[in-house]
Structures are given as structure tokens and as C-alpha cells.
Structure 1
Amino acid sequence: MKCLIQGCEPAERLQLLLKLTNIESPDIVAALHDHFVAGHQDAVAAIRNGIKKSNLSRAIARLEQVAFTVEQIKEIDWAKFKPSKVA
């Protein structure tokens, strides 16, 4: 399931998600920013940052996994605060 939208993610969210990964390469991070924040296609983001598209694809997949896990945690937390139905 895709949780991240190309060109629609705030830079702050991307940075927080990156903290939950081992992605540290400045070029990969810049390419992810170009893709998720600036909205460039993955191939363009890879070329702009001098990396292989396959490396960017792996980083995107890892970031998607982390974002999905964060969404699952949010669902659990929201369920705790749902008002219960009273008859």
C-alpha cells in the first residue's frame, strides 16, 4: 500500500520518516526530496542527483514500508480515542 504521494509530502514529514530508516546518503536523501516534496518523477530525481534509479527505487520502497508502519501505529492510537457508543 502506498502511503506517500509524489510531490505532496511536506519536507518535515520526509525528514521524520528518514529518521526511522538507515538511509543516510545525501544524494539518495536529495533524490527522495525531489520525488516526494518537489514532485519529480523517480527517474528524473535519480538523474538530478547522480544516482542509479534502482537505488532510488529501493529507498522509496523502504520509506513506503516505514510510512505504512507509522500509519498502522496511528490507527491503533486513534482507536483508543474513539468515543464509544453508549446505548
Structure 2
Amino acid sequence: MRILVQGLESKERVKLLLKLTKIDSENIQRALTDHLCKGHKEDDAAMLNDVPRQNFNRALKRLNDVAGIVEHIKELDWEQFKNQTS
């Protein structure tokens, strides 16, 4: 599932999501930032940062999975908050 949108994510959001993963390669992190924050195409972001496309795809999928979990937690928290204020 795609939660993160090319070129529309803040660097801070991507940085925080990366903290929830084991993605520690600086090249992959830069490629993800180039794609998600600066709007570079996936191929270009991977190539500019000397990252094999397969590794980039795997990292992007993992980051989207983590973003999906975060969004689900936010939904649960919002429901709980709404129930407490009703």
C-alpha cells in the first residue's frame, strides 16, 4: 500500500519514519528523501545515490508499511479521543 507520496513528504516525516525501520544505509536514506521530499522519480533517486533499484524498492515498500502502521495508530487514537469527548 502506498501511503507516502512522491515529492509531497517533509524531510522531518521521512526522517522520523526511518527511525522506525532498520534502514541504516545513508545512500538509501538519501535516495528515499530525494524521491519522497524532492520529487525525483524512483529510478533517478536510486541512480543519483548509487543504490540498486531493487534495494530502493525494498526500502520504499518498508517505509510505506511503517507509514501505514503509523496512520492506523493515529486513527485508533482519534477514535478513542472522539469517544472520550462525547
Q: TM-score band (shorter)? A: over 0.9
Q: In structure 1, what is the equivalent of residue 9 of structure 2?
A: 9
With normalisation by structure 1, the TM-score equals 0.93
- One-letter code aligned to 1:51: V
- The CA RMSD over aligned residues, in Å, is 0.8
Tell me if 1:61 matches 2:61.
yes
Cα distance in 2 for partners of 1:5, 1:51 equals 20
Alpha-carbon offset, residue 67 of structure 1: 0.2
Deviation (angstroms), 1:80: 1.0
Q: Percent identity?
A: 50
Q: Deviation per CA, 1:18-73, whole angstroms, max 9, x where unpaired? A: 00000000100000000000000110001100111111000000000000000000
Partner of 2:34: 34
Q: What is the aligned partner in structure 1 of residue 79 from structure 2?
A: 79
Moved more, 37-46 or 74-83: 74-83
Aligned length: 84
TM-score, scaled to structure 2: 0.94
Amino acid at match of 2:72: Q
1:2 Cα deviation from its structure 2 partner: 1.4
**Displacement after TM superposition at 1:81 (Å):** 1.3
Decide which structure has the larger Cα Rg and report it. 1
